[in-house]
A and B are shown apart, each in its own frame.
Chain A
């Protein structure tokens, strides 16, 4: 392996890989995020450079959409659904439970960088409320016991 690719080069590579260049900003930010885990200030600058738009424009888009994270998220990720059905079927209590267990509020990451917690408007899994996604896997009818066993299993999924 040679020298580590600079963020500028990486962003250019990602831009090259996009099938369409029209309206590339959002897909590019999505690729940067899946590549880097989040969108750093350096990435914003590199994207602005690569697309020839101002940093403030990139930042404006990145902060508009809930998907984009501007700080590094935890290694494992809880996404608790607070859609109407989940809210009515205990989604808030589920969120409170995870929040208490991890000692962080929604939108934050634990100090050791292991877990982050956020809410999502709806996972479209309303018939199995309350639902959540943990590391991208969707769970339905989640109980607080299930959370405890996920956390107890630590890094490995239950």
Chain B
């Protein structure tokens, strides 16, 4: 491919790419697109693809194959889209290597493209094919219909390892547009859009850029925070794996607006595929002259290096992240000075999150007002949200801000599986909190979630059902935060540890009522006294749990029972003598040797020796179901 030496050549490259894309869609051979993100691969997408390949090889059918990122319908993964000649591109889901033969038979042998694996047709306005009666559009899918995909615009639709496909979808047009504007105009457009930091803190992006632009100094740095450490969040991974050039283009626009010549992407090591695709994208952009000196012949130079994280949650905090790039322990420092004035290596530095960057191309392309037209109040535009936990359709979505949690969980996510009751939703990860079922009509925007005691955070939504014990959940989060605390400030280092100890006491049924007030007091002190957002947010899961589910804590303390039967000290396993057929599987599986009995007789669990691991219950054959789990009062 030729180098984009000026905007006119870039235009030619984009036109050629559009032509190549149409060629791909109009081709006479079938086109097979496989969703190959980490989630798809973990669901055996590669095995499905090779099964298709061998089925088609058997039939002597020539075809073209390409990879795409994640469309967000993770619940139905692996996803494969097939486009037969003169037919629409159709997305098939719920595949596994064993039903591929059936899929190939239906689609290739019987031309039955609308079958029970069909999720819908992917709209391609650029090509005309005869309509297929009864074939649903993917746009009508309940998980897709309410979405407005801006940051995720190309995810699942293009090959993330081929820059031409990004071009064919309008890629890098916004860069050319931005470079023709004054840097101040670019900042003004971003300010008009109302875009706020998507990594969690929600600071207005345009304002942040302006601070850094105005900071004295020639050498300035731009950092993309791709250290998505919040357990439960996977939007940044999806964007990096599905559309890495969108992030690079956003970074280029930001670098031009601020006046940076050097950028870093700090990506966590747990995302090897994202790192690989970023690396490919950087090479391609460099080869075309979209990174390096004198970009598009307009005198602006910028390049990006990848820095791989090394597994520390605190490095999501900006000052800790910069310490880590500098090769030090990732410990936050007090602000001021703010990174805009003194950041990486003491130089003015601007840091934004992956999703923030991914939005920018569209904001420049379509204008700040256009972006501002989505959203509510001070929360404008869209937000990507990852749905996981007790939800029928886990996956990744992007919706205008202001949609209610109820719509998101029930209409988009399909509600809670197995007809269990929805207990609430955790937003914002370990720095967020649990919003109870009764408050699900709260709109998802920065301010409303904060008012409920939680945060937007990176946009993770973990739905919990009646089987989740809130005390255990609070304990889980504190286990995480106290382990990840960098140890620099006392409230976080010691406070989180003490909070965890108190929660353990409660979960073991050994606490007294006064402990609730003590826990609340300590949580408030840690929230107010910690140096950074890790410590400042760590008490939120506890405080929201106490705010909305206090009776559950009281149940553990006063009655010494765990209503959800999760806290090990407060449950007991027993074998129902009526149901036990004496098969002995439970005794074989018991790691503690706590089950005694003889074959064909009734087995008995010795409660004193039982470690409550539940192994016996999981091995007891479904037809007997003799092992019971019950609420037990601790002695």
Of residues 119 through 140 on chain A, the ones whose CB sits less than 8 Å from some CB of chain B are: 120-129, 131, 136, 138-140
- Partner pick for B229 among A25, A93, A97, A121, CB 8 A cutoff: A121
Interface flag for B251 (CB, 8 Å): no
Q: Which residues of A contact B39 (CB under 8 A)?
A: 125, 127-128, 140
Most chain B C-beta atoms within 10 Å of own C-beta, residue among A19, A20, A27, A68: A27
A122 to B41, CA, bound (A): 16
Interface flag for A144 (CB, 8 Å): yes
Interface flag for B216 (CB, 8 Å): no
| Inter-subunit contact A126/B234 (CB<8 Å) | yes
A140 to B394, CA, bound (A): 13
Interface flag for B68 (CB, 8 Å): no
- Partner pick for B270 among A22, A27, A96, A124, CB 8 A cutoff: A124
* Nearest CB in chain A: distance from B112 CB, A: 28
Interface flag for B613 (CB, 8 Å): yes
Chain A-chain B contacts (Cβ-Cβ < 8 Å), number: 150
A129 to B395, CA, bound (A): 11
Interface flag for A88 (CB, 8 Å): yes
Answer whether A124 and B237 are a contact pair too, CB < 8 Å, given A65-B311, A65-B330, A85-B389.
yes
Interface flag for A24 (CB, 8 Å): yes
Closest to B234 in A: A124
Answer whether A22 and B345 are a contact pair too, CB < 8 Å, given A84-B389, A140-B39.
yes
A136 to B42, CA, bound (A): 11
* Nearest CB in chain A: distance from B119 CB, A: 15
Q: Which residues of A contact B480 (CB under 8 A)?
A: 121
Of residues 558 through 587 on chain B, the ones whose CB sits less than 8 Å from some CB of chain A are: none
A84 to B390, CA, bound (A): 11
Total number of A residues with any Cβ neighbor in B under 8 Å? 46
A45 to B54, CA, bound (A): 52
| Inter-subunit contact B313/A121 (CB<8 Å) | yes
A91 to B325, CA, bound (A): 32
Interface flag for A73 (CB, 8 Å): no
A96 to B525, CA, bound (A): 35
| Inter-subunit contact B310/A26 (CB<8 Å) | yes
Q: Which residues of B contact A67 (CB under 8 A)?
A: 269, 309-311
Interface string of A9-24 (1 = CB under 8 A from B): 0000000000110111
| Inter-subunit contact B310/A66 (CB<8 Å) | yes
Interface flag for A40 (CB, 8 Å): no
Answer whether A124 and B228 are a contact pair too, CB < 8 Å, given A60-B329, A68-B310.
yes
Q: Which residues of B contact A85 (CB under 8 A)?
A: 231-232, 388-389, 394, 462
Question: Which residues of A are in contact with B by a Cβ distance under 8 Å?
Answer: 19-20, 22-27, 29-30, 60-61, 64-68, 82-89, 93, 96-97, 100, 120-129, 131, 136, 138-141, 144
- 5 A-B residue pairs with Cβ-Cβ distance under 8 Å, sorted by A, are A68-B310, A84-B232, A122-B233, A126-B389, A128-B39
**3 tightest CB-CB pairs across the interface, nearest first?**
A83-B231, A127-B74, A66-B311
